[in-house]
């Protein structure tokens, strides 16, 4: 894909489309991913990448401390498989909880072994993972057993997932915020949900969906979306993050608007977690 939006289209949406409406042959090809995913889980063939999130006003700053964690699968040939290929299937067939827990185990491991660093990592959690009853205790116990400081962990939930699993999400967010973890609402503006829910969700960051950033140079409406979401966030005391920042003219527009943080290929491509020094 050439953008966040494209990447997502070739993942989540396409699976839904295949599953509902297309012939058996194609449905099978989706189902064929199930053993591929379960084998990868059994054989520990996943790897974490991370991408920096930096303040818009000092985007060339070298001291990056804040990263989003992005999972990849490694196939039997050692090739990297992007999440757009397997996350939507995993979400559909109840395998995402296992993947998200794999990610959490791995990131706790990293945090525990780099306790001198001030790095903070933002981990994506799918809706099914949030609705998993044992998740909260799992994470609380990880903090206990590793001694990792909760301030070093952030969670990204999409608005759609947060709203679909509203009670669970609220319980999860409140409990982990009490411990000191941070929360972002991911892909903000891309869902069909009502803005009213934003008032109820005590998140620290709004991630403005990449589709608005991509088009903001060309399209006045997209520019206004970014500006409006930013304004709304700030009025509610929520910091804003622009995703998918690919060029410097987008970055200057974000500066002009007053968006707090930027993430995207312009700043850095996702890199293997193990490459972080």
The residue behind tokens 């088009």 is 215
Please choose which of Ca ion, ligand C2E, none residue 104 contacts, taking the beta carbon within 5 to 8 angstroms, the exact cut-off set by kind.
none
Helix (H) or strand (E) holding 188: strand 182-188
The CA angle 191-259-208, to the nearest 5 degrees, is: 15
Q: Which stretch binds ligand C2E (CB under 6 A): 110-118, 193-201, 253-261, 264-272?
A: 264-272
Contact string (CB under 5 A) for Ca ion, positions 155-194, x = contact: -x-----------------------------xx-------
Nearer to ligand C2E (CB atom), residue 116 or residue 275: 275
Q: Applying CB under 5 A, which of residues 3, 59, 124, 215 lies at the interface with Ca ion?
A: 124
HEC profile for 97-154?
HHHHHHHHHHHHHHHHHCCCCCCEEEEECCHHHHHCCCHHHHHHHHHHHHCCCHHHEE
Three-state SS for 94?
coil
Q: Can you read off the two tokens belonging to residue 225?
A: 């979306």
- Exposure on the CB side of residue 124, measured as CA atoms within 13 A: 20
Could you give phi then psi for residue 238, rounded to 5 degrees? -110, 130
User: Restricting to residues 195-214, which ones interact with ligand C2E according to CB under 6 A?
Assistant: none
Q: Which of 97, 186, 222, 260 binds ligand C2E (CB under 6 A)?
A: 186
Among 103, 153, 181, 216, binds ligand C2E (CB under 6 A): 103
17 binds, among Ca ion, ligand C2E, none (CB under 5 to 8 A by kind): none
Closest CA to 157 of 177, 143, 141: 177
Q: Between residues 87 and 135, which has the closer beta carbon with respect to ligand C2E? A: 87
Q: Which of 126, 190, 215, 230 binds ligand C2E (CB under 6 A)?
A: 126
DSSP 273: G
Bridge pairing between strands 46-52 and 66-74? antiparallel
Site for ligand C2E in 216-255 (CB under 6 A): 244-246
CA nearest 28: which of 111, 89, 75? 89
Applying the rule CB under 6 A, the residues between 56 and 95 that interact with ligand C2E are 70-71, 82-84, 87
Distance (Å, rounded) from C-alpha 264 to C-alpha 226? 15
The answer to whether residue 97 forms part of the interface with ligand C2E (CB under 6 A) is no
Counting contacts by CB under 6 A, is residue 187 touching ligand C2E? yes
Query: Judged by CB under 6 A, which stretch of 34-42, 124-132, 134-142, 162-170 contacts ligand C2E?
Result: 124-132
How near is the Cβ of 144 to ligand C2E at its closest, in Å?
23
**What are the CA-CA distances from residue 126 to residues 21, 101, 233 (Å)?**
24, 11, 23
227 belongs to the binding site for Ca ion (CB under 5 A): no
In the complex, the residues that contact ligand C2E under the rule CB under 6 A are 2-4, 7, 51, 70-71, 82-84, 87, 96, 100, 103, 124-126, 186-187, 244-246, 264-265, 270
In the complex, the residues that contact Ca ion under the rule CB under 5 A are 124, 156, 186-187, 243
């Amino acid at each position: 894909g050439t953008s966040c939006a494209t990447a997502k289209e070739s993942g989540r949406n396409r699976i839904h489309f295949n599953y509902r409406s297309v012939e058996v042959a194609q449905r099978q090809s989706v189902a064929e991913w199930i053993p591929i995913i379960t084998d990868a889980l059994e054989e520990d063939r996943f790897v974490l990448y991370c991408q920096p999130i930096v303040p818009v006003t000092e985007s060339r700053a070298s001291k990056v401390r804040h990263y989003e964690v992005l999972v990849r699968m490694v196939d039997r040939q050692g090739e990297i498989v992007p999440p757009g290929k397997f996350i939507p299937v995993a979400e559909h067939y109840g395998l995402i909880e296992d993947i998200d827990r794999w990610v959490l185990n791995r990131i706790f491991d990293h945090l525990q072994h780099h306790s001198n660093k001030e790095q903070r990592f933002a981990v994506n959690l799918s809706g099914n993972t949030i609705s998993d009853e044992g998740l909260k205790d799992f994470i609380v116990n990880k903090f206990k057993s590793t001694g990792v400081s909760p301030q070093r962990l952030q969670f990204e939930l999409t608005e759609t997932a947060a709203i679909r699993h509203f009670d669970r999400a609220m319980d999860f967010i409140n409990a982990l915020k009490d411990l000191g973890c941070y929360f972002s609402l991911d892909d903000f503006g891309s869902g069909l949900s009502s803005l009213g829910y934003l008032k109820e969700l005590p998140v620290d960051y709004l991630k403005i969906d990449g589709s608005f950033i991509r088009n903001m140079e060309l399209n006045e409406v997209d520019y206004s979306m970014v500006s409006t979401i930013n304004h709304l966030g700030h009025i509610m005391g929520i910091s804003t993050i622009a995703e998918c920042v690919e060029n410097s003219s987008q970055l200057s527009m974000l500066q002009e608007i007053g968006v707090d943080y930027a993430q995207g290929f312009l700043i850095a491509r996702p890199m293997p977690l193990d490459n972080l020094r």
